[in-house]
């Protein structure tokens, strides 16, 4: 983030905190955010503490910030509202210039509450779990310099072996992210589904598919020179031949709060420049 963007963010955070305090709301600021935004007049808490204490988490930044916070607060059941200070804003849909008036409406009860599913992921190596975590957008198995060979099973049924640059397992939320760039379908967020999108498959007939969100998906790394697992494009885990990546729907959702006039298709049209 450049200096001018950082200054705008600091000003917005300060304005929002002052506005909420004047309206008799108790305000906590996440510790690292308070430090970077130089907000010294408010009580600071860790994200974990905010999840245990707050009734609403307001996230300012881009979609990446929302992804990180959502994963951190999945156990807390705290609804999230996003103020867009990023590029696309698929998840952070309040404009900074409308922030105060829209937040007033939301805290007054004028909002649409929308559940979003997450993926629970485990990496198993020699039968032992070496990594476990959650993804709001996607779980990506990616090659290094060369093709990798993957074996995909769904509900313990063999689907295919594939040679490609990798594979994207995406929630409906994530279908407007990397999966879209790789040629996958856009799934409406209220669909109970997981999309499976090959990345540059060596066989052109190997196409994206969508499966029920109750499906248990297992991907085995058969052959590669280098590969890693990426969670929401933010966490990266190195993989070894024979590793199994088990993906299923997480037991808990996160909840986004949108303005009362929010429309998913309006958002898509604006963000993707549809006519």
Q: What is the pLDDT of residues 40-95, one digit of tens each?
A: 888 999 999 999 999 999 999 999 999 999 999 999 989 999 999 877 789 998 99
Residue with tokens 């109970």: 192
Indicate if the pLDDT at residue 220 is higher than 90. Answer: yes
Indicate if the pLDDT at residue 6 is higher than 80. Answer: no
Query: Among 12, 55, 63, 243, which one carries the catalytic annotation?
Result: 63
Quick one: 236 and 197 in the same domain? yes
243 is catalytic: no
What CATH number is associated with residue 227? 2.60.200.30
Q: How many CB atoms sit inside 10 A of residue 222's CB?
A: 14
Q: How confident is the model at residue 3 (pLDDT cuts 50, 70, 90)?
A: low
Structural domain that includes position 152: 119-249
The count of C-alpha atoms lying within 13 angstroms of the C-alpha of 138, restricted to the half-sphere facing its C-beta, is 28
Quick one: 135 and 245 in the same domain? yes
The C-alpha atoms of residue 185 and residue 141 are separated, in whole angstroms, by 18
Mean pLDDT of 143-148: 88
The C-alpha atoms of residue 179 and residue 64 are separated, in whole angstroms, by 15
What CATH number is associated with residue 12? 3.40.50.10330
Residues 6 or more apart from 15 whose CB is under 8 A from it?
99, 100
The C-alpha atoms of residue 235 and residue 109 are separated, in whole angstroms, by 35
Quick one: 190 and 100 in the same domain? no
User: Please, are residues 13 and 34 in contact by the beta-carbon 8 Å criterion?
Assistant: no
Mean pLDDT of the chain: 94
**Predicted TM-score of the model (pTM):** 0.94
| Structural domain total, the chain | 2
CB burial class (10 A; 0-12, 13-18, 19+) of residue 153?
middle
Quick one: 154 and 35 in the same domain? no
């Amino acid at each position: 983030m450049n200096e001018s963007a950082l200054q705008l963010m600091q000003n917005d955070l300060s304005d929002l905190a002052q506005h909420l305090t004047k309206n008799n709301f108790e305000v906590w600021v996440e510790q690292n955010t308070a430090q970077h935004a130089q907000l010294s007049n408010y009580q600071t808490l860790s994200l974990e503490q905010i999840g245990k204490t707050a009734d609403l988490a307001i996230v300012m930044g881009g979609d990446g910030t929302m992804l990180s916070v959502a994963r951190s607060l999945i156990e807390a059941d705290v609804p999230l509202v996003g103020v867009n200070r990023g590029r696309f804003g698929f998840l952070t849909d309040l404009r900074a210039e409308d922030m105060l008036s829209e937040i007033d409406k939301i805290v007054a009860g004028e909002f649409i509450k929308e559940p979003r599913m997450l993926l629970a992921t485990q990496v198993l190596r020699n039968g032992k779990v070496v990594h476990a975590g959650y993804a709001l957008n996607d779980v990506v198995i990616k090659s290094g310099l060369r093709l990798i060979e993957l074996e995909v099973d769904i509900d313990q049924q063999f689907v295919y072996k594939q040679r490609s640059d990798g594979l994207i397992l995406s929630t409906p939320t994530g279908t407007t992210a990397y999966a879209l760039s790789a040629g996958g379908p856009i799934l409406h967020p209220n669909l109970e589904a997981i999309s499976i999108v090959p990345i540059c498959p060596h066989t052109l007939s190997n196409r994206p598919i969508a499966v029920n969100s109750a499906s248990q998906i297992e991907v085995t790394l058969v052959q590669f020179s280098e590969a890693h697992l990426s969670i929401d494009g933010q966490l990266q885990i190195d993989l070894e031949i024979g590793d199994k990546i088990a993906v299923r729907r997480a037991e808990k959702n996160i909840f986004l709060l949108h303005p009362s006039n929010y429309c998913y298709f309006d958002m898509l049209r604006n963000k993707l420049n549809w006519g």
